[in-house]
Amino acid sequence: MTDTATFEKMLAQIETGAGFIAALDQSGGSTPKALKGYGVEEDAWGSDEEMFALIHSMRSRIVTSPCFTGEKVIGAILFERTMDGEAGGKPVPALLWERGVVPFLKVDKGLEDEADGVQMMKPISGLGELLARAKAKGVFGTKMRSVINSASQSGIAAIVKQQFEVAGEILDHGLVPIIEPEVNIKSETRSQCDDILLAETKKALDALPEGRRVMLKLSLPANAGLFADLVKHPAVVRVVALSGGFSRADACTELAKNSGIIASFSRALLNDLKHQMSDDEFDASLGGAIDEIHKASIA
């Protein structure tokens, strides 16, 4: 269980730390793709349990790497099974915090089919129990994702409303929610999506009771600097950006144009890592990616 002093240290690390948040939260649906990127083909496992064991092995290798510390990686978002697992002989959240990396948990259960230009979150069954378990394991915050595909005022308003409603329950459990309404960077109306999302998010933030604070995980905007007001909003702990399909080089270039926003990359962080690498090769590759993303985050 995170005591008040530890929570305040974690909050300070996330609010002011010069680094970025690693997204290590690929879930059931995206795990085969993540493993394939890691050089593990689908014939390497015969069951979901074997598949999850392979992805846990990959994540353990990442979080125990000498370069994966709070000096540049200020937080990490975990999949539920990773939170429940061990790395280096310790529970993963405890190992991360020993290294100065603040643990978060992905809590959403995936996306509904597209309607009104957006994909809402599926209902999150058992959320209260999951939040209580995460809190007991020393997790600081959560993350949940929705997707915006076109500039629908009503659709984007509905996504923001749903995100902030669930965020309220998360705050009630003493955890800090990362709200992630991802704008599809391939959307033909990407810029308009950004504008509507900005307006709806500002309204929701302004309506939060005093003292309640959230984090935002957003797609890099089509117009650099658009989210400056969100970065400065008193109800926002930190604004982080997803890579959203950009290559690491392009994501870092776009990120560096947006002052005050730091990275929370997944694929762009892990893309060059391969199962077949020696430990030295693996650590060098991961360290290079961390350095590049860290540099863009503090630009």
Could you give the number of structural domains in the chain? Answer: 1
Angstrom distance (rounded) from CA 101 to CA 97: 5
Host domain of residue 239: 4-297
Instruction: State residue 75's pLDDT score.
Output: 98
- Whether 292 is catalytic: no
Q: CA nearest 287: which of 100, 66, 139?
A: 66
- Catalytic site includes residue 109: no
Residue in the structure block whose two tokens are 């709806």? 200
Q: What integer pLDDT is reported at residue 28 of this predicted model? A: 64
CATH number at residue 276: 3.20.20.70
Predicted confidence at residue 156, as pLDDT, reads: 98
What stretches in the chain show pLDDT beneath 70? Answer: 28
Count Cβ atoms below 10 Å from residue 146 Cβ, excluding itself.
Answer: 22
Report the pLDDT value the prediction gives residue 1, as an integer from 0 to 100: 74
The one catalytic residue among 72, 106, 137, 180: 180
Out of 143, 200, 217, 254, pick the active-site residue: 217
Contacts (Cβ under 8 Å, ≥6 apart) of 14: 21, 74, 75, 102, 140, 141, 176, 215, 237, 238
pTM: 0.97
Other beta carbons within 10 Å of 23: 28
